[in-house]
Structures are given as structure tokens and as C-alpha cells.
Amino acid sequence: MTYHLASLTFDEPIMRFDVPESEKKSAAHPHEVFLINLITNHILLFVVFMTSANTYPLLPLLTPAISIVILAYILLRARKSLNDDPWFVMCHWQLSARWARIFIVMIAILAAIIGLLLWISGGDMEPQHYAVGGAVLLPVMVTVLGLIILESEGTHQARQGILPKSMVERYPNAEAVALEE
């Protein structure tokens, strides 16, 4: 698998396994949940909330609040999967949790910068503060788009019985036999 992100290229070898269809479906679930968060919450609902921000200025804060709840679910479920799920499903939960942690860091950085702007301005946001807030929002939106691509690929891999080799090395399973590499 090759990821092209701007001028960066990430080549990560993959491994295909003979996995029952029920496990493939279960392994796609964490990626689908994350995609619902990214597409529905961070794109569609965020636009709706921003259009209502003049009337209800705190409404856009629902987007990160909803996201944190979904990301917490992914992280807690990934931890639970270490003991409860079949190996292939567990690996896909861990993969989705890895991307969730990265996204939580992006949301935390955005919140810190917006909080700093509010603190500096004493709560009175001036036009230049909105410009800085918009500039800070851009890396988060780029991250959202990148994660949509990664999670879409994760869903596809789960349905095909594929795992990145790094996950196989991190969570080895002597019983798992790779069909191809």
C-alpha cells in the first residue's frame, strides 16, 4: 500500500489473511464509526453549526464534543478488543485507535489555541482573532481529509482480510497464516 500525502510517500507492506466473513465485517466496524464521525460530524454538521453561529455562538462547539464522545468510544472499545475479539478484528480496532489518538491531539491543539485567543482577547473576539482561528482550523480540516482517506482504506483492507505488516509485527499471532505479502 502506498500513501501519497502532498510530497510525502508512505509505503507500508500489507499482508492478506484467510479470515471468515463475519470477522471481516467486524473488523470494518471501527473504521466505519470513525468515518461517520469525520464525514457526518466534522464536515456536514460543522457546516450546519457554523451557519447558525451568529444566532447560537456556542453551537459549533457541538462538533468537537460529539467527536470526543465517538473517539472515546473507539479508544475504549479498542482497549476492550485486546481481550475480547478475534486477532484480526482486534488489530483493526488498534489501527483505528491509532488514528483516533492523532485526531484527539489535533483537536486538543485547536482547543488550546482558541482558548488562548479567548484569554488574550478577554472574551471579546475581534476580526483578527477570527482570522487566526480560521488559520488554525485549516490543519485540522486537512487532518480530517487525510483521516478520511486512511480510514476508507482501513475499511477496504478489513473487508479484504488485509492488515498492515506493522500491525502484524506489533500484535503477533502464531496461528495466523498469511496468504500473501
| 3-class secondary structure, 11 | strand
Q: Which residues pair with 164 in a beta bridge?
A: 14
Task: Delimit the domains of the chain by residue range.
Answer: 21-50+59-180
- Here the cell at position 57 is 455562538
The secondary element (H helix, E strand) that includes residue 17 is strand 14-17
User: What is the full per-residue pLDDT of the chain (181 aa) written as tens digits?
Assistant: 554 444 444 567 888 999 999 999 999 999 999 999 999 998 999 889 988 888 888 888 899 899 999 999 999 999 999 999 999 999 999 999 999 999 999 989 888 887 887 788 776 766 666 677 677 788 888 999 999 999 999 999 999 999 998 899 999 887 877 786 6
If you search the block for the grid coordinates 500473501, which residue do you land on? Answer: 180
d(CA 61, CA 127): 19
Nearest Cα neighbor of 169 from 160, 178, 161 is 178
pTM of the predicted protein model: 0.84
